Structure 1
Amino acid sequence: MDSSSRPGAARDQQRTSFALVADEYARSRPGYPVEAARWLVGTRPSSVIELGAGTGKLTARLLELGHDVLATDPLQEMLDHLVEQHPDVRVAQAPAEQIPAATRSVDTVVAAQAFHWFDHPVALKEIARVLKPEGRIALVWNQRDERVPWVRKLTALLGEPPDDTDWAEVLISSGLFGYVETETFRHWQPLRKQDLRELVLSRSYVAVMDPMAQDRLLRKVDELFDAYDRGPDGLLLPYLTRCFRAVVRPRGIIEEPEHSRDLTEAARAVRDAQGPDGPSATAVPHEDDPATTLIDFR
C-alpha cells in the first residue's frame, strides 16, 4: 500500500515521526549516485528547490554540481542536520503543499525519498506554479535490490509491502506535466551491524513502534546480519535508484496563491532595490511565520 493511501491521521503521525529519528536518519540513510543527480537536474548551474530535503542526502550532490539550492522540509529537526553539514545552503521549514517561492521562478523542483508523503494534487499544482516555462519536476527513490537473498529477508522482517505505485502515471494524470522520462542507477551502501540497526530505526513506522516490539525487531535484524556477515567489512546493501523527470506543460496566467502573493511583491521590491548586480535569490521573511521564506529566483 502506498503511503498516500493510508488514513490521514496515521500517515501524518508517521511523517512527523522522522523528527524522533533525525539523528539515525542522518547517520544511516544512503546518499545518491552523482550520475543520478546529473540525470535529474543536469550539470549546468540552475535554480533548484528541493522538497522534503530531510537531512540533505541529495542536497550534497546538488551542491557539488553547482546548483543554487533552496532546501525545504516540514521538520526543523531534519533541517538542523542539513544545515550542520551545509551551513551555506538556504533552507526553509515548509511543506511541499506550500512552496515558499515565487511563481515561474525555478528551473527544477526535486524530491528525494519524499514525494510519496505529499498530498499529490495540491503539491503538484504548487510545483507547476513555481516552475519556469520548460522547467522540470524530478523525483528519485533509493529502493533496496531484493534480488539479493539477505535483502529479501530484511524486507520480510520489516514487513514492508511492495511499492507498486506508477509514479509516471501520477505525474501524467495530473495534467500538469508532459512525457515522463525514467532511469535507474545502481549503488551499494557498506554496513556494519550498528549501521544496519540504525538504518532500520530510521524507518518512520519503526520509530513509532512499541519499545518491546522495536527491541524484538532489532534483535532479529542483528541475527540476520550475523548470519550473512563474512568479514571485517560487514555487508554491502545494494540499491536501485529510481529516477523520474518531466517538463511542466505550458500554462496561461497563474494567480499567486494566498500564502505567497504578498511575499512575492515583497521579494520583487527587494530585488529591484538591489539592482541588476544583486543576488539571484532573495529570502523574504513571512510576517506571520518567521520560519517561512519566499524565494524569487528570477
Structure 2
Amino acid sequence: MGHHTFDIDGADKLEEAERRYRYVSSEELLWALAPTSGDTIADLGSGTGFFTDDIAPHADTMYAVDVQGAMHDYYEEKGMPENVEPVTTGIEALPFEDDSIDAAFSTMTYHEFASDDALAEIHRVLAPDGRLTIVDWSAAGTGENGPPLDERYTVETAVENLRDHGFAVDHAFTRPETYLVVATAE
C-alpha cells in the first residue's frame, strides 16, 4: 500500500466543512468514541486539527498526532484549543505510556499508516477497553475522491488487521466511498 502523507500545500482543503462532514460527521465520531470528560484521546493523523477540534471539548487531554510538523504549525496558527497537545511522530512510534489513552481515532488516514508496527503501537497505548475508531477511504469506492484505490483498504481487511492485533471489532460499516470501524482493545 502507498503510505504517502497529505500535501501541506493543500491543507486549506482539510478545513472545508462541506467536504469533510460529507464523509464523517462530528456526531458520528462522538458516537463511535463515546468520550467522557476525563478521557485522554488521540487523533491519529490529525492534520490541521479539523476533527480534533470537534472532539477536544469532550476530553480532558487531547493529542493531535501527525507525522508532519508543518500540519501542527498550520493548526497552531489556526488556533489550537488549550487541552490539545501536538505530537509530531509516526503512529508506529507513539510517545505515550502503556494503557494511557482512553480512545483514539483516525479520519481518512488509516491507509497512510496501517502496518503491523502501527497497529501494535496503538494497542499498546490504549487502555484496556479503550476505543479505536477508524473512518477511511474504502478500496470498494470509486476513487473519485481521496487517495488512489490501490492505496486503500476494504473494511474487511481493516477489520481482519485489527482483530489480528488484539482488538475486538464492535461495529463495521461500509458506505459508498468510506468505511467506519469501531474497535475495543482487548
Q: What TM-score results when the alignment is normalised by the length of structure 2?
A: 0.78
Of the candidates 54, 69, 91, which is equivalent to residue 76 of structure 1?
69
In the alignment, what sits opposite 2:162? 171
- CA shift, 1:44, in A, is 1.9
Change (3 A) 1:159 1:140: closer
Picking from 83, 97, 102, the partner of 1:107 is 102
**Aligned counterpart for 2:134 among listed residues 136, 139, 156:** 139
Match of 2:57 in 1: 64
**Number of residue pairs matched by the alignment:** 175
Q: Between the two proteins, what is the percent identity of the paired residues?
A: 23
Work out the CA distance in 1 between the residues paired with 2:95 and 2:161.
23
In the alignment, which of 22, 26, 31 is matched to residue 34 of structure 1? 26
RMSD: 2.9
Asked if the contact 1:97–1:119 (Cα under 8 Å) also holds between the matched residues in 2, the reply is no
Residue identity opposite 1:116 in structure 2: H
Secondary structure of 1:102's aligned partner: coil
- 1:210-229 matched pairs, under 5 angstroms: none
Structure 1 residue matching 2:129: 3-state secondary structure: strand
1:127 aligns with 2:118: no
What is the rounded CA distance, in whole Å, between the counterparts of 2:169 and 2:65 in structure 1? 26
Matched-pair contact (CA < 8 Å) for 1:53–1:111? yes
The one-letter code sitting in structure 2 at the alignment partner of 1:244 is V
State the Cα deviation string for residues 151-192 of structure 1 (Å, max 9, x = none): x7x929x99437452211121123x1123412468xxxxxxx
What is the CA-CA distance between 1:19 and the residue it aligns to? Answer: 2.6
Deviations 1:92-146 (A, max 9, x none): 1111111111111111121111111114200111111111111122111367xx7
Q: Is the 8 A contact 2:137 2:147 kept in 1?
A: no
Residue of structure 2 equivalent to 1:271: none
Does the alignment pair 1:248 with 2:151? no
- Which has the bigger relative contact order, CA under 8 A and spacing at least 6? 1
Cα distance, 1:22 vs. partner?
A: 2.4
Q: Partners of 1:107 and 1:159 in 2: how far apart?
A: 29
Question: Which structure 2 segments of 5+ residues have no match?
Answer: none
**Equivalent-residue separation in structure 2 for 1:94 and 1:159 (angstroms):** 22
Contact kept in structure 1, 2:132 and 2:182, CA below 8 Å: yes
Give the TM-score, by structure 1 length: 0.51
DSSP 3-state at the match of 2:48? coil
- Correspondence 1:145-224 to 2 at 5 A: 155=144, 160-161=148-149, 163=152, 165=154, 166=156, 167-174=158-165, 176-183=166-173
Shift of 1:244: 0.9
Rounded to whole Å, the distance in 2 between the matches of 1:159 and 1:22 is 15
Offset, 1:91: 0.8
> In the alignment, is the contact (CA less than 8 A) between 2:35 and 2:103 conserved in 1?
no
